Amino acid sequence: MPSGEDDLIGRYFKPIATDPGALGLADDAAILKVGGDDLVITTDAIVEGVHFLSGDPPETVARKALRVNLSDLAAKGATPAGFVMSLALRNADEEWLASFARGLSDDATGFGCPLLGGDTVATPGPLTISITAFGRVPPGEMILRSRAEPGDRIVVSGTIGDASLGLAILTKKITVGDVAVREMLLGRYRMPQPRIALAESVRKFARAAMDVSDGLAGDLAKLCAASGVSAVIDAGSVPLSDAARGLMEQGRTCLESVVSGGDDYEILCTIAENSFGDFARSARSVGVAVTSIGTIVAGNMLPKWLDAEDDEIAFPRLSYSHF
């Protein structure tokens, strides 16, 4: 005689919890055998109306909830080991849950990160999904934010600013007529691409790394502060999609929005100059584009962003903050 809650877990989440350590989600806790590795732990919550919109497809909501955590693991050089999820639901809408579980299952399988356990609670408020994800690294090899050194190249993966443009479309701040462009930008907001494929290259070659989630400018400032260094960025070299570049050329977005927008889930890392070639080759071999955008310098000033004339660009707002 299972309760509604157990029934819901059994129906939608037990099939995803294939790892033996999950104990079929039928125990109070999960077991993870870590062996000699260090365990890397990250936790990120996403809230309806803040990190995703109520109209977003349940499949992409699930994927985003997991992917924002996988992005952190990738930036730390870790291999995914599993995750636990706490789900605060207003009601148990079967159709929504089935679709949510399908998205979650696809990503858990695709990224080799099995569901180990969870908690499902009722809330009168917005749907909130909090995930804690686990990764493994060889002892002492987790890549920190705090090890950047003057002279390091500053590198980002993928392209920057697309997700914030996707959000701007969804919240009707901009309109984009071209369907393909619009869909690409919405997809970047709804379903980040965690750079798990790049994790090993980061672990092997990066001195410092973090994921870009709150805006490149602010996140770079955090990495520099943690490392006790500063940076000089060539703003023109920040990698942009054709879509973002097009909108910028039309004056419908600007550099500041792009680099402070957040939700990129790309990797920002610093690489010693003499390792950069190896890193770039390693990234190419796993099919992830990486772009050198500047250099770490000594000092404790905020990073300097330079335009094509080497004049400094001032950003009043560096990144997204919840409070």
- Name the minimum Å distance from CB 54 to a copy of itself: 12
Residue type, 51: H
- Name the minimum Å distance from CB 179 to a copy of itself: 32
Nearest in space to 224 (alpha carbons), one of 320, 291, 303:
303
Give the separation between CA 54 and CA 207, rounded to whole angstroms. 39
- Name the minimum Å distance from CB 127 to a copy of itself: 9
Nearest in space to 4 (alpha carbons), one of 241, 179, 108, 12:
12
Could you give phi then psi for residue 196, rounded to 5 degrees? -55, -35
Give the separation between CA 286 and CA 191, rounded to whole angstroms. 20
Instruction: Give whichever of 39 and 289 is closer to a copy of itself, judged by the CB atom.
Output: 39
Instruction: Give whichever of 31 and 286 is closer to a copy of itself, judged by the CB atom.
Output: 31
The answer to whether 203 and 74 have CB atoms below 8 angstroms apart is no
Residue type, 128: T
Instruction: Give whichever of 160 and 268 is closer to a copy of itself, judged by the CB atom.
Output: 268
- Name the minimum Å distance from CB 251 to a copy of itself: 28
Nearest in space to 62 (alpha carbons), one of 203, 192, 172:
192
Q: Where are the alpha helices (DSSP H) in 111-212?
A: 162-170, 179-190, 199-205
Instruction: Give whichever of 28 and 310 is closer to a copy of itself, judged by the CB atom.
Output: 28
Instruction: Give whichever of 126 and 151 is closer to a copy of itself, judged by the CB atom.
Output: 126
- Name the minimum Å distance from CB 263 to a copy of itself: 13
- Name the minimum Å distance from CB 182 to a copy of itself: 27
Instruction: Give whichever of 91 and 285 is closer to a copy of itself, judged by the CB atom.
Output: 91
Locate the DSSP E strands across 166-265. 206-212, 230-234
